[in-house]
Amino acid sequence: MSDAKLTDVLSPLLEATGGLDAAPSSVSGAKHRSIKLDTNENPFPLPLPVMQSAIAALKHHHLYPEDDNVGLREAAANAYGFDQDQVIAGNGSSELLSVIYKAFLAPGDSVAMLSPGFSFNRKLAKLQGARFIEVEWGESYTLPMKQLLSGPAQDAKFIVLSNPNNPSGTFVPVADVDSLAAQSNRLIVLDEAYVDFAPDDALRLVNRHPNLLVLRTFSKSYSAAGLRIGFGFGHPDLIGRLRNIQNLFNMNVIAHAVGISILSNRRAYSNNHKHIKEERERVTTALSDLGFSVIPSHANFLLARVPPGRNGTWLQTSLRAENIFVAAFPEDGLEDYIRVSIGKKDEMDAFISAAGRILKQLVPHETSVTSQ
């Protein structure tokens, strides 16, 4: 196809994608023996009963999965104390976010997010032709109530709030979320992807506030990132609208079976969660000793400022040379940070050792003692 013809074909189509460029060619992921600490997966295997449910589900590979995820939604409703029509299930909470944007935003509308936050929200807003408003957290990472209620976000159709927040790992008291939902006449989308590593959660607020949608995922705390299992909890009218525009058979039979089994075996993950919380504190101390400035986290990752003299991308590249993968960010204000997922103890030991070796290679004038 000639370049001219391609332009003629694509021009009217691109209007519907909000001007997003074509995705670049994909590159292969981390090698098998790498230490992968960049996407906040849980490194531990599924408990045996959950794994057995996945294997058993393979027998039904030739059949379509249950439409509308009825059995999975019923299991989640029973596990968390809701009616079935208050629950939606999907391919991780990211799919549910996408459905929310499609359901509630029209071109020209606006949506607000606490920033820094989950960057995928920017793309979702652009696809809907919506204006994306970023409200700064500020250094204290307390909920900026005034800015959300009467500031630049006052005309937003809904507000996206992650608690704990990604990429900072910070957590705001549930009482503050309660107050925001009570004072606002807009939809509050509360993403609790990392809440199993935090001291509290907001599910109890769902029946108190019809304008509150709470999202959960089994990717972070239940070792199921590759299976894509997520939930939304809210008023039946909100949930019903979202379910009505989901793809047909949007989840697969293995995800259904594993999701139901996880809901029945949540206690089997207690040691898993305990390990991650303890490692999170140990790694925080170790990084601080190396000169990093680490933001206190309630998630399964740490956001750490690289010691003076280099930025996050430099350290990310240096660690990758040792086959250790961490996240770095191009956004303003995050250039000097890396985000490190909490893995197994030996993985974290390898990361700490590598970071220490790399920093020691800097010439003296490029580093500084943290007490200066």
Query: What CATH number is given for 48-264 in this structure?
Result: 3.40.640.10
pLDDT at 372: 34
Report cis status (omega within 30 of 0) of the bond before 167.
yes
| pLDDT tens digits, 286-296 | 999 999 999 99
Alpha helices in the chain (DSSP H): 3-14, 48-57, 70-80, 92-104, 120-127, 145-150, 174-183, 236-244, 253-264, 270-289, 312-320, 345-360
Helix 253-264 vs helix 48-57: angle between axes, to the nearest 10 degrees?
Answer: 160
d(CA 323, CA 318): 9
DSSP-derived pairing of the beta strands 293-294 and 327-328: unpaired
- Produce one character per residue of 294-307: b if its CB has 16 or more CB atoms within 10 Å, e if not: bbebbbbbbbbbbb
- Taking the CA of residue 254 as centre, how many other CA atoms within 13 Å lie in the half-sphere pointing to its CB? 13
Q: What is the pTM of this model?
A: 0.91
pLDDT at 138: 80
Of 90, 96, 99, the C-alpha closest to 72 is: 90
- Residues 43 and 224: beta-carbon distance below 8 Å: no
User: Per-residue pLDDT for the chain (372 aa), expressed as one digit of tens each?
Assistant: 566 654 555 565 556 566 666 556 555 555 556 999 999 999 999 999 999 999 999 999 999 999 999 999 999 999 999 999 999 999 999 999 999 999 999 999 999 999 999 989 999 999 999 999 999 998 889 999 999 998 889 889 999 999 999 999 999 999 999 999 999 999 999 999 999 999 999 999 999 999 999 999 999 999 999 999 999 999 999 999 999 999 999 999 999 999 999 999 999 999 999 999 999 999 999 999 999 999 999 999 999 999 998 899 999 999 999 999 999 998 888 999 999 999 999 999 999 999 999 999 875 544 444 433
Three-class SS of residue 343?
coil
- Residues ≥6 apart with Cβ < 8 Å to 51: 45
Tally Cβ neighbours within 10 Å of residue 171: 21
d(CA 273, CA 244): 35
d(CA 59, CA 224): 20
- Residues 205 and 212: beta-carbon distance below 8 Å: yes
Give the number of residues written for the chain.
Answer: 372
Residue 301 has which token pair?
């990752």
- Tell me if the domain spanning 28-44+269-359 has CATH number 3.90.1150.10: yes
Q: Where in the chain is the domain with CATH 3.90.1150.10?
A: 28-44+269-359
Helix 236-244 vs helix 92-104: angle between axes, to the nearest 10 degrees?
Answer: 100
- Residues ≥6 apart with Cβ < 8 Å to 309: 362, 366, 367, 368
Residue 346 has which token pair?
């030996």
User: 309: alpha, beta or left, given left = phi > 0 and alpha = psi -120 to 50?
Assistant: left
Q: Where in the chain is the domain with CATH 3.40.640.10?
A: 48-264
